[in-house]
Chain A
């Protein structure tokens, strides 16, 4: 039973990592003589999920890989995959502080990896540190590029956090953003 759960979780991690390939990395700074005007390609709106009923911190369905974006990102390193896996195990065992510490370790290896920031945000949500959960999810969004699924998950996290913080308007706005991205 446990092993099966572990496999499911690892699959979730793997899917989540695959979608990292979809993160666009724009060329830095000012580019001369290069046509770079492009709008992010729009996804056909996916079937809306009932996000409102999600329990804060409950494992969320892994976002689908974003195949339509242009540039390939570096593949996720085996080190980060291993640390994410460790963090998942610790979180599932209820050791959330430890899971956060392991995620921070992973962030030291890949500080620009939006998935790691997202996972840290959800751990904080589970710990009921709502202000940090919202901030970390926003940070993940700042790095998420055109990865719409990850952005939507981050907005979900923000919506839950804002709700708990008593900011109904911000929670509503965040939920709308999540919906628009799906």
Chain B
């Protein structure tokens, strides 16, 4: 062909010449030879191209990302230390949910035994953001709902802190729902590898991808049986089939499979191929989710990592490789048992195990957990929040394919109580209010009060329903939950306002948002002059509106923003009575700042993100910003404690509430459409909202509705009383009910905190005999105590 190009100018002629030549026998011979050579060359080129393409495909897919791995979302790891409020049963249920087994004696990582009030367990190694946690044998003792001793089970040395591995609470799946947990060859028990090779491909280490002997044997067996009874595929071929090809039984596919197997073996080591096989093989199905690989199958069937599998469990999984649905051990126990035992027999035949071992293994049950661990998170509402925070920093595609490990702040115990209490309380409240079942809805957000970590979030009464997440998206008027913001604005203006500044609670008429507005108190009464702390504790509307107007509505809205609300807000006088609408999560942000002494901490649901292999990727660190002075926040908190003791939330005045020194505020909106409570103890802050999706009245106030949910929940989860260290500029001064300085033993005296120098200087008459001289040297300075001063001279 090459010579043609030189004769291009006379192509016609050349063809003629050729035509002439073709007539001679010698010419015929040459042309045939050329033709055959040409065809062969073309074929070779095509085959070469095909092989090159195959080769490229084999390599690029094998070396590139082999699998799209869903992101794994974990709850907080449980940290054990002496004095932790925790019962032995709490720990047992945590260990059980982590898939720890309970044998006669602890037998390696992931096992525990109990004796009296002592527990022995061996932790599993785990890689955290701040370092690897090795496996440790632990002995822990409990007394009166507390962990009292924590020791190394062998050396007896005391352990300051033990961190368990975190519970998996969900995954972010790719569209095809293929799920796997990738294992490394070194993590897999050697007997699993030996058994797999013995059963599936005895000559794995001897062949080059295709095993002609096995093929021949299979062909012979199939011919004799006149049907396909034996495969004869090597592990490499099986991997190729699963990894690259569609499951078709065409001869052409077989050829392609063999070629690719050869190429794979040409490029990669036996170990690489084996590791890929271990992770690729299909071993089960749960709904839409396909279970691939021994790592996930081990969790899926036995609730434990692959390192901890026993011989009979290994035999069962290997048996499943031939047909995971047919031998499904949860559905077809007998078939699965038969298959497992057949595998064990094969292992004896091929010298992997001894007959006695096989006999012992056969005596064991299947050991499969009754329920398949769900691929669907039990806490979808919390996961909404996690996803929302992840989407700010990651592409959806990376979340579903990179196998990221996401460490969240969820405390499963708090979450479970939150969901369960919300559901039962709502049902009871519906009955009590004569509402139809399902009419009421609610949301709960719980955080660690100092750190801003969201530990639980319920977005509705049915935790698994998904859909509308009220904690994040139900934007509702917050009612009196706005009041602490107004009072903080006032108390920040020291010395103009103190806890005993007299406020005026009398009728009021004004314009708000272009309309006439005559706010009323909830009890439709007027209380005249009331000290500031009591106006807040009893949630007096008129005193509060007057106070807010004196401070300026825009100034109050400014405080709302500083406390952490970023959405656009209106500033009308009616804002002072809580017409401002916020979702529960944002209310939580606002109260978070109050609960942590005026330091705003952005609410966080995620602590850290690691790559699939455990490399640190990102940490969402604790950040604080001081947005209010600690002293006024301290005063405000005192008034909020008073609200719980003697104010609108006094139904909480049972021994638990009193001993926990709870600070909180009720919120109720017009016609009883929304019922709110926001409050905190020393360890947790919780915000509860109850209402109806159609926004009709509920018949509930903050105290009769949301507070009851809050109370039930806090009693179960909270163990730290609210004890705030007073800022340095705070002093405590006893005052009488009118807000005058008095002696602490005088009847009705209460001791209140004041910013140094702002305490009332006027003495109450009943005790003045002790202090006359001192009092006369001082003059009253603040309007709030003028009336008291005046009364002194009555």
Contact = CB atoms under 8 A, between A and B. Distances in A.
A101 B451 CA distance: 13
A13 to B, nearest CB: 13
B695 interface: no
A28 B642 contact: no
A142 B629 CA distance: 9
A76 B453 CA distance: 23
B728 A32 contact: no
Given A37-B731, A37-B734, A78 B81 contact: yes
Interface stretch (A4-12, A46-54, A132-140, A167-175): A132-140
Interface string A38-57: 11100000000000000000
A29 B661 contact: yes
A31 B130 contact: no
B199 to A, nearest CB: 45
A34 interface: yes
A176 interface: no
B79 A109 contact: yes
Contacts of A82: 160-161
Contacts of A122: none
Interface in A96-137: 97-98, 100-102, 104-105, 107-109, 111-112, 114, 120, 131-132, 135-136
**Contact size class for A?**
35 or more
A111 B638 contact: no
Contacts of A111: 448-451, 683
Interface in B748-774: 749-752
Interface centre among B129, B450, B596, B683 (most CB of A within 10 A): B450
A23 to B, nearest CB: 7
**Contact size class for B?**
35 or more
A31 B626 contact: no
Interface in A19-39: 23-39
Contact of A36 (B725, B727, B744): B744
A136 B621 CA distance: 12
A146 interface: yes
A108 B83 contact: no
A111 B447 CA distance: 13
Contact of A101 (B161, B619, B630, B745): B619
B79 A105 contact: yes
A25 B638 contact: no
A140 B695 CA distance: 44
A28 B749 contact: no
Contacts of B83: 77
Nearest to B596: A139
Interface string B712-724: 0000000001111
Contacts of B533: 30
A37 B732 contact: yes
A105 B77 CA distance: 11
B729 to A, nearest CB: 10
A31 B732 contact: yes
A79 interface: yes
B93 interface: no
B723 A28 contact: yes
A26 B661 contact: no
A70 interface: no
Interface in B665-689: 682-683
B597 interface: yes
A104 to B, nearest CB: 5
Contacts of A114: 725
Interface string A56-72: 00000000000000000
Nearest to B661: A28
A82 B637 CA distance: 33
B624 A36 contact: no
B630 A108 contact: no
Interface centre among A26, A131, A144 (most CB of B within 10 A): A26
B81 A79 contact: yes
B158 interface: yes
A37 B467 CA distance: 55
Contacts of A16: none
Contact of B749 (A33, A39, A77, A141): A33
Interface centre among B722, B727, B751 (most CB of A within 10 A): B751
Contacts of B598: 142
A81 interface: yes
Contacts of A32: 749-751
Contact of B621 (A77, A104, A131): A104
A102 B619 CA distance: 12
A35 B638 CA distance: 17
B355 interface: no
Interface in B43-88: 79, 81-83
Given A29-B661, A143-B725, A36 B732 contact: yes
B436 to A, nearest CB: 41
A83 interface: yes
B157 to A, nearest CB: 12
Contacts of A144: 725
Nearest to B158: A78
Contacts of A30: 533, 638, 641-642, 645, 750-752
Contacts of A112: 450, 682, 723, 725
Contact of B81 (A77, A142, A151): A77
B131 interface: yes
Interface string B524-539: 0000000001000000
Nearest to A134: B626
A33 B645 CA distance: 16
Contact of B130 (A105, A132, A135): A105
B338 interface: no
Contact of A28 (B131, B622, B623, B722): B722
Given A30-B751, A145-B726, A132 B160 contact: no
Contacts of B725: 23-26, 112, 114, 142-145
A60 to B, nearest CB: 20
A142 B597 contact: yes
B625 interface: yes
Contacts of B743: 35
23 contacts: A28-B723, A29-B642, A30-B638, A30-B641, A77-B83, A78-B161, A79-B161, A98-B130, A104-B607, A105-B79, A107-B622, A108-B448, A109-B81, A109-B161, A111-B451, A114-B725, A132-B623, A132-B624, A135-B625, A136-B624, A139-B597, A139-B599, A142-B727
Given A30-B752, A83-B160, A107-B451, 4 more contacts: A29-B663, A38-B731, A142-B630, A145-B725
Interface of B: 79, 81-83, 129-131, 158, 160-161, 448-451, 453, 533, 596-599, 607-608, 619, 621-626, 630, 637-638, 641-642, 645, 661, 663, 682-683, 721-728, 730-734, 743-745, 749-752
Q: Which are the 8 A-B pairs with shortest beta-carbon distances?
A: A79-B81, A82-B160, A111-B450, A29-B641, A28-B661, A79-B161, A142-B630, A36-B732
